[in-house]
Structures are given as C-alpha cells and as structure tokens.
Chains A and B, each alone.
Chain A
Amino acid sequence: NAGVMQNPRHLVRRRGQEARLRCSPMKGHSHVYWYRQLPEEGLKFMVYLQKENIIDESGMPKERFSAEFPKEGPSILRIQQVVRGDSAAYFCASSGQGREKLFFGSGTQLSVL
C-alpha cells in the first residue's frame, strides 16, 4: 500500500540542462499537486492536475516549467534550461475526491550546479 512515490530522490543538473521529476500518486487518487520548498521556507503551490488536465497552474513560472499527468504513468514536472535559482525541494502530493487532505511524497531535491 504505497504512498505517494517521487523519484529521483536527489537530482543534480548543470545550468542549462533539463530536469524531470516524477510523481506517482497514492492508489485511488486522481488529483496531483506540485509544490516547491526553498530552505527554511514553507511550501509554495505550483500546479494542480487531474488525469490529462491542468486544473490550476497559477503558481507555475511562466517560462521553462511545465507539468503533465498523462492517462497512463506518473505525473511529470519538467524544468527546462535550469538555473541556480531552481535549486529547491520539489514535493508532489495527491488527494482523493474530497481534495481537502493532501498526502505528500518525500520530495525531490534538485541541485543546479
């Protein structure tokens, strides 16, 4: 009975490379959320997706960032041409139909050199 699974756990990229972060929601959950956390900060909402649909992307930077949640497979957060400021912990969460309580994964720590 796995919870929210994120991989990789740690990701190191050089400036200009692409970063792909994966998230498999908890079984039976169809709502996926991505959050970003900087050191000593709270989590900041990025995007909310359902299968094949982006519901709310109000927290996503306008450029270089994209997210998808395909019909089959995990949700992907993609960051193109990474910069040092993208270094952060990225957390995925999922919820069931109630959508009030979020279940979080362990996060992906992205380090941009």
Chain B
Amino acid sequence: SQQGEEDPQALSIQEGENATMNCSYKTSINNLQWYRQNSGRGLVHLILIRSNEREKHSGRLRVTLDTSKKSSSLLITASRAADTASYFCATEAHYGGSQGNLIFGKGTKLSVKP
C-alpha cells in the first residue's frame, strides 16, 4: 500500500483561485517533501517540512504537517496556468535516516484554467 496518498486525485480550478492538496502517510517520518511534475518531465523539488515543523512557506506555497494525523497539505495561492502539473508528496522509506529511498504517492493532477 502507498506510504503517501494524495487527495484529490485530480483538481481543476480557475486562474487566481487557491489549490489545496492533501497527503496522508502511514509510518513515522523525519520529514515530508512535495514535488511537482510537468507532463513528461522529471520531478522538481518544491518544499521539505521536517517532523518538528507545523507550517512552512515558500513563495505562493504553504505546506502544513500534522504528525498526529499523519497528514500534510500543500496550498498554492493565486494559482496560474503555469502551475498545471502533477503534485506528489514523498516520505523516506527508512525512518531514522533518509537514504533517498522515497515513497511517492500517485499524485494530484492539478489543472489551472486561464
């Protein structure tokens, strides 16, 4: 079963609206990361939030982490057509030391209409 599960699977919004994506995971973590993937391309790292952090901002991105619920959310504010992509959360497979063995969910496919 997936360590990271994103929700919703697909999201369609208008430019200027906010987009919220959620991620749930199963085991203890050191950190949780969000990546973005444009169609047919590799993943781009967006943001990393550590287990002792509750919220983190980067530009128009806001990530929250609730370790008691084993969940995270990614908020993109004032979305643009260029934000259209798939968004994945990832956690490390080995708690206690990331080895780059990340477990990705199936992603949320975001479509931002101009």
Contact = CB atoms under 8 A, between A and B. Distances in A.
Nearest to B5: A42
Interface residues of A, number: 28
A106 B48 contact: no
Nearest to B104: A42
Size bin of chain B's contact surface = 20 to 34
Contacts of A40: 106
Contacts of A42: 2, 4, 88, 104-107
B44 A56 contact: no
Nearest to A59: B101
Interface stretch (B57-65, B70-78, B92-100): B92-100
A43 B43 contact: yes
Interface of B: 2, 4, 31, 33, 35, 40-45, 48, 88, 93, 98-107
Interface of A: 4, 6, 31, 33, 40-45, 48, 55-56, 58-59, 91, 93, 95, 99-107, 109
